[in-house]
Amino acid sequence: MSGKAPGGATENMVGLANSNGNLLEVKNLRKYYPVKKGVFARVSEYVKAVDDVSFELKRGETLGLVGESGCGKTTTGRTILRLIEPTSGEAFFNGTPLFQLRGEGLRRTRKHMQIIFQDPYGSLNPRMTVGGIVTEGMAAHDLYPKRERVERAQQLLQRVGLEREHFYRYPHEFSGGQRQRIGIARALAIEPEFIVCDEPVSALDVSIQAQIINLLADLKAEFGLSYLFIAHDLSVVEHISDRVAVMYLGKIVEQAKTEDLFGNSLHPYTQALLASVPSLEPGQRRQRQTLPGDVPSPLHPPAGCPFHPRCPEVMDACRTQPPGMIDKGNGHLVACHLYSIETATTGSKPAQSNITTQPS
Ligand code: SF4
């Protein structure tokens, strides 16, 4: 490959972040929304929707991003796709620095990244036929001769469980599950490598959810896709994810392989989330617990650890000092004083290399 990478980034820039095999690297991502007050509409404070978020996604991997409503997971996904502009931070896609892309470079890179939206009703243009919706991206990126686009779109409709003749119908003629299949076909139409699945099943009936999740898993294997899978339903995330990151109030508080997170969660917030899910295993009646209190406003996040007003393990240090991210081994990361204090009192402070994120 010679010349320039998408967006005018040089080959050297690409090589920098791509040497470790990650498809996506997000570093210290922040998205702050200014709040204006007074007659002069001066910016007086900021809503910190996403606050110092870092993670990596390997090629062919699914990273689940979970947390309660308003924790910043959707903003994170949309900022990476540049549907929302970041306040600061870096993101590298295939080594290309995403936030430096402009114009044609951004358009070309976007061809490799798609999104499946939560709302299968609002995300499809009611005035366009299904065929128009699915082929729109192909036309925008000048993919395939015109006649081939129809054939390819009809093949995709079949692949996602619809009929070829649905190409000529309108979105209002379909059920919620069928509309989500149209949204998936639209995302696949331009042959992306990476898809942000933004709560793709939360608006669907439970009976349909499993079908769509299984379809997404099959398509991932068939087309070599990588997913950032955003959801608040832990059982859905456990089913489809290779790794899971848990967000609270704009920050990632724990990140681990799926089996480690669900089998040995470390952060009190993750433990509370898991305890709030009823067990479906016969004979294994888990005591269902609910978290006390509401998620605090991101406009005025609590000092110290943002989870401290709701945490059953809260200590004095939690009220004033934000915990840094600590690697507990096997890629299991956690931001909680329970573990930094534990290592400090046993005299085995984590090595500097184990601390992946300093408190902001
Ligand atoms: Fe709870 Fe403190 Fe850990 Fe925060 S740092 S989760 S308040 S124990």
Band the pLDDT of 333: cuts 50, 70, 90: very high
Average pLDDT of the residues in 68-88: 95
Ligand 1 pocket: which of 307, 325, 333, 334 to mutate (most atoms within 8 A of CB): 307
User: Does 304 score more than 60 pLDDT?
Assistant: yes
pLDDT digits (tens, 9 = 90+) for 239-286: 999 999 999 999 999 999 999 999 999 999 999 999 887 655 555 555
Distance 322 CA to ligand 1 centre (A): 9
Residue 256 located in a structural domain: yes
Distance 320 CA to ligand 1 centre (A): 11
Instruction: Kindly give the number of the ligand 1 atom that is closest to the alpha carbon of 337.
Output: 5
Average pLDDT of the residues in 331-343: 85
Residues with CB under 6 A from ligand 1: 267-268, 305, 307-308, 311, 313-315, 318, 323, 336-338
Burial 183-202 (b: 16+ CB within 10 A, else e): bbbbbbbbbbbbbbbbbbbe
Which pLDDT score, from 0 to 100, does residue 348 have? 41
Q: Which residue range is the domain that position 104 belongs to? A: 22-112+192-359
Instruction: Kindly give the number of the ligand 1 atom that is closest to the alpha carbon of 268.
Output: 6
Ligand 1 pocket: which of 254, 305, 325, 341 to mutate (most atoms within 8 A of CB): 305
Distance 315 CA to ligand 1 centre (A): 7
| Residue 35: CATH number of its domain | 3.40.50.300
Which pLDDT score, from 0 to 100, does residue 300 have? 87
**Average per-residue pLDDT for the chain:** 87
CA torsion through residues 65, 67, 68, 71, sign? negative
Distance 128 CA to ligand 1 centre (A): 50
Instruction: Kindly give the number of the ligand 1 atom that is closest to the alpha carbon of 253.
Output: 6
Residue 129 located in a structural domain: no
Identify the CA nearest to 306 among candidates 72, 37, 31, 90.
72
Cβ neighbours of residue 206 under 8 Å, at least 6 residues apart?
none
Residue 296 located in a structural domain: yes
Q: Which has more confidence, 51 or 345?
A: 51
Count of beta carbons in the 10 Å neighbourhood of residue 319: 13
Cβ neighbours of residue 339 under 8 Å, at least 6 residues apart?
266, 326, 328
- Domain total for the chain? 1
Burial 303-312 (b: 16+ CB within 10 A, else e): ebbbbbbbbe
Is-above-0.75 flag for pTM?
Answer: yes
Residue 48 located in a structural domain: yes
How many Cα atoms are found within 13 Å in the side-chain-facing hemisphere of 301? 22
Cβ neighbours of residue 89 under 8 Å, at least 6 residues apart?
26, 27, 28, 29, 30, 52, 53, 99
Residue 258 located in a structural domain: yes
Both tokens of residue 75? 């903003």
- Using H for helix, E for strand and C for coil, what is the string for 233-265? CHHHHHHHCCEEEEEECCEEEEEEEHHHHHHCC
Instruction: Kindly give the number of the ligand 1 atom that is closest to the alpha carbon of 311.
Output: 1
Specify the residue with its C-alpha closest to ligand 1, atom 3: 336
Distance 48 CA to ligand 1 centre (A): 20
Instruction: Kindly give the number of the ligand 1 atom that is closest to the alpha carbon of 267.
Output: 6
Band the pLDDT of 287: cuts 50, 70, 90: low
Specify the residue with its C-alpha closest to ligand 1, atom 7: 308
Cβ neighbours of residue 358 under 8 Å, at least 6 residues apart?
324
Name the least confident of 220-224, 230-234, 353-357: 353-357
Residue 127 located in a structural domain: no
Which pLDDT score, from 0 to 100, does residue 175 have? 94
Q: Which has more confidence, 176 or 345?
A: 176
Residue 130 located in a structural domain: no
d(C-alpha 138, C-alpha 210), whole Å: 29
Residue 224 located in a structural domain: yes
Ligand 1 pocket: which of 328, 336, 339, 341 to mutate (most atoms within 8 A of CB): 336
Instruction: Kindly give the number of the ligand 1 atom that is closest to the alpha carbon of 305.
Output: 4
Instruction: Kindly give the number of the ligand 1 atom that is closest to the alpha carbon of 269.
Output: 6
